[in-house]
Amino acid sequence: MAREFSTVGVVGLGTMGAGIVEVFARNGIDVVAVEISEPALERGRATLTGSTDRAVAKGKLAAADRDALHERVHFAVGLDALHSVDLVIEAVPEHLDLKQRIFAELDRVCRPETILATNTSSLSVTEISVATTRPNQVIGIHFFNPAPVMKLVEVVRTVVTSPEVVADVEALCARLGKVDVTINDRAGFIANALLFGYLNHAVGMFEAHYATREDIDAAMKLGCGLPMGPLALMDLIGLDTAYEILDTMYRRGGRDRRHAPVPLLKQMVTAGLLGRKSGRGFYTYERPGSPVVVPDEATPLATEAALADGARAITKVGVVGSGTMATGIIEVFAKAGYEVVSVTRGAEKSAKVCEAVKTSLNKGVVRGKLAEADRDAALGRISWSATLDHLADVDLVVEAVVEELSVKKALFASLDEICKPGVVLATTTSSLPVIDVAMATHRPADVVGLHFFNPAPVMPLVEVVRTIRTSPETTATARAVCAALGKTGVVCGDRSGFIVNALLFPYLNDAVKMLEASYSTADDIDHAMKLGCGYPMGPFELLDVVGLDVSLAIQRELYLELREPGFAPAPLLEHLVTAGYLGRKTRRGFRDHSHR
């Protein structure tokens, strides 16, 4: 039978510590909240009061329950106040020597049966435990911020942590209404090990001027459905905290270069640009601690209207292709008021594309998202053709044919001969070098990538990919067109994966490597990323949806171009693809989908 905890102690009352105090007190457990000094104690008390008052104002906590919560909390200066508690959770800054000193003192102060826990997010629980004479009673209990809201807790056992201690803490997590994942002591555990490699990669992208901070953040929010972009999230976490976590993971996790903090990160920390807490990080905030972003010298001052300066006028668009993506793009342009020429190979394919567009528009009417008159008007703007010659008078051509470089190059060579001067030629490729396509023409300055996401009528993001030969006028035209379509156009260079795939798929690959190493289960890893980071899908759920073969192909392209050892495809992914386990489309991937 699991042990019953009646009183717990919390050491350190910053944002995380105060949140942990609130979690326990909300669930009827008495708490001894400890700080190093009276001023620090008062700051912790104010943090708890502010949080509970906001919960009352939002109707999420009754005033009587708030008052009862506060009555369960005893504030004290010094560790001696913890002499009779059943469990202590330490939540002080991420410095190993500091934590070891605290645990040595807790070992002296607390009863022999008291469990000692650390909320560390990256340091070795084992190294912390050896500062005591009871390492078998030391465990990691990693809450996520904000602790009262986030459901996940990582329970971190060392090689000597008692199984009874693990079971007791797991039962406590259930009592607190949390979902726990129990794992071994490894750098970054689950969530941070997967999250911070991705965040560091995004900082490197920004440092290299590959894309703006706004475009990087917009790409990951709109392209992947993430709650925050990576640079805004770094500001929320705190750049100093992020640096410490990355540096610890690099030193403890096998010196993977992907966890080596990007130099810009260290420079910003040294300059005091720590994110929201200091009022400035990747973004500038209204005041320290405020979530409100204000313009600064790095913020693009251009509005969408200004972005259109220098853009060419586009009234008539050609779309080449007969697949799902081409169909969606035709619909998007027609609904936005453009005259569209759809070109396919043969009358039969043209008829299929026409029927698919009509079906999609009719669904919009049935669902109340489109008026019948608007549907009819959109259809009236589309003409159908089986020959490229009908693109002679368009202003923009969007190619959406098969992802084979030879096919695209041949198509663009033909378009170069047929289209009038000044026409923007766009490829929707998601994996091929745009410059290779552009150089098949005599007008590479007019060629740009327009990477729509599937389904095009629904997804709000378009990656505008400029090559080293794309003219500023062409880029401006492409972005202005995206705005006219009601899409967010994010501009980036012509590099494998562009923004979204370059950041997303290494993260997915890291998750496969974690599973391959038997560190955790697919279910627990998915839980960790959904409940701990707010991701809409766990990595293995997403891999099965995307297709393991597609994921492997993208990861191979990233590895071949960037030559980063950490990007090498996980052998487990390669083996599953070889065995024909491709995800939902074969009803078997990382999970069995045969019952669905």
- State how far the Cα of 525 lies from the Cα of 528, in Å rounded to an integer: 5
d(CA 506, CA 47): 37
- The CA-based angle 26-29-32, given to 5 degrees, is 105
Tokens standing for residue 575 = 């083996």
Helix (H, G, I), strand (E, B) or coil at 383: strand
The DSSP-derived string for 333-373 is: HHHTT-EEEEE-SSHHHHHHHHHHHHHHHHHHHHTTSS-HH
Q: Which residues are annotated as catalytic?
A: 121, 142, 154, 192
- Half-sphere exposure (CA, 13 Å, Cβ side) for 344? 19
Question: What number of H helices and E strands is found in the chain?
Answer: 23, 18
- Rounded to whole angstroms, how far apart are CA atoms 415 and 508? 37
Contacts of 218 (CB under 8 A, 6+ apart): 229, 461, 488, 490
Q: Measured between alpha carbons, how far is 432 from 576 in angstroms, rounded to an integer?
A: 25
In 3D space, the residue among 460, 533, 543 whose CA is nearest the CA of residue 154 turns out to be 533
Sign of CA pseudo-dihedral 209, 212, 216, 217: positive
Report yes or no: 229 and 220 within 8 Å, Cβ to Cβ.
yes
Residue 402 carries which side chain, given as an amino acid letter? V
- From CA 514, how far away is CA 189, in angstroms rounded? 10
Place of tokens 């289209």: 419
